[in-house]
Chains A and B, each alone.
Chain A
Amino acid sequence: NSPAPLPERAIYGFALFLGSWFGFILYLIWAYIPETWLFSLGLTYWPQKYWAVALPVYLLVAVGIGYILLFGINMMSTAPLSSTHTITDNYAKKQQQKKFQEEAIPALRDIPISEVNRMFFLPEK
């Protein structure tokens, strides 16, 4: 699953490149060329030209709202001050206590908040 270039990926990329250029030119033709010229060519089944302006506007407004929505979702999923999630979580509750070995670095563990507070705020006598 490495991101290295492969021949298949080169072909997909080129096909997407051609497809997106084709789509863009088609969009420009639909938006700019008057209907009468298109009808005279025999191409009559197009959506209303109103959408050539409306769809980009919808997209941009959706992106703008997405910024505000993401901000709001972030604020909503922040744990409130009264939740136990600010202190502990499932992994910390189920952690195993490893035995203390002399002259070895102590194992990594979640230190309970009471102990941390005592360490920080009560002066060592």
Chain B
Amino acid sequence: MAEERRFRSASGALIALRRRQHSASCRELAVRGPRLQLRSLSAATSAVWLAAYGLFALSENSMVLSAAIFITLIGLIIYLHFMKIDQESLLVIGSLGIQVTSSYASGKESTTFIEMGQVKDVVINEAIHMQKVIYYLCILLQDPDDPQGVSEVVPLFQSSKPRLDCLIEVYKSCQEILEKRKTAPQSS
């Protein structure tokens, strides 16, 4: 079953949370941010080209115009491939682990898998980020030496930065699966 709900990100942009339940102990939560807007693309292109035309008018060098076109094209490709994240998803498989995927606008996907033995908990933490205090979901990794300790914190949904209402939904979904692993029989 799949359901989709709209939320807002920390900066006010519209994001959509899609929840899919693959089985009793497997759930996928995907947060999709807004696509690249035509108006921001046009604004950036016009700004670069107007600046280049101004430089050309000052310096009478026509290479400035071709350079501006190249810069715009290459900049757009780099932005779409390395910086614009369209969708971030979290796949929680109860007995196996957690997989975090980021899909970029150019189609590139980068995934990280954390096995369940290393996962201590998935919590909503609040921290200072760029003159704001934001809530963010993070995976706490178990410290192998200390059962109560946390060795590492893996923040999730870094580029879409959902607000607390969306995070609570994701948190509840994850906790439903994580709770089961404590009551499930240990297999070793």
Contact B121 A114 (CB under 8 A): yes
Q: Can you name the residue of chain A whose Cβ is closest to the Cβ of B158?
A: A81
Residues of B within 8 A of A118 (CB): 175
Question: Does chain A have a CB within 8 A of B39?
Answer: no
Contact B153 A82 (CB under 8 A): yes
For the complex, give the distance between the alpha carbons of A83 and B168 in Å. 22
Question: Does chain A have a CB within 8 A of B125?
Answer: yes
Contact B153 A84 (CB under 8 A): yes
Residues of B within 8 A of A117 (CB): 121, 123-124, 171
Tell me the dominant secondary structure on chain B's binding face: strand
Q: Which of A4-12, A34-42, A51-59, A86-94 interfaces with chain B?
A: A86-94
For the complex, give the distance between the alpha carbons of A78 and B134 in Å. 13
In angstroms, how far is the closest chain A Cβ from the Cβ of B170?
10
Contact A83 B123 (CB under 8 A): no
Question: Does chain A have a CB within 8 A of B136?
Answer: yes
Residues of A within 8 A of B158 (CB): 81
Question: Does chain A have a CB within 8 A of B140?
Answer: yes
Question: Does chain B have a CB within 8 A of A26?
Answer: no
For the complex, give the distance between the alpha carbons of A122 and B124 in Å. 12
For the complex, give the distance between the alpha carbons of A84 and B143 in Å. 11
In angstroms, how far is the closest chain B Cβ from the Cβ of A105?
24
Contact A114 B123 (CB under 8 A): yes
A87-B150, A88-B150 known; A82 and B121 CB under 8 Å?
no
Q: Which A residues form the contact surface with B (CB < 8 A)?
A: 75, 78-79, 81-84, 86-88, 93, 112-114, 117-118, 121-122
Q: Which B residues form the contact surface with A (CB < 8 A)?
A: 120-121, 123-125, 127-130, 136, 138, 140, 148-155, 158, 168, 171-172, 175
Could you give 24 example pairs across A and B, Cβ below 8 Å? A78-B129, A79-B128, A81-B129, A81-B155, A81-B158, A82-B138, A82-B152, A82-B154, A82-B155, A83-B153, A84-B151, A84-B153, A86-B125, A86-B153, A87-B125, A87-B150, A87-B153, A113-B121, A113-B123, A117-B124, A117-B171, A121-B171, A122-B172, A122-B175
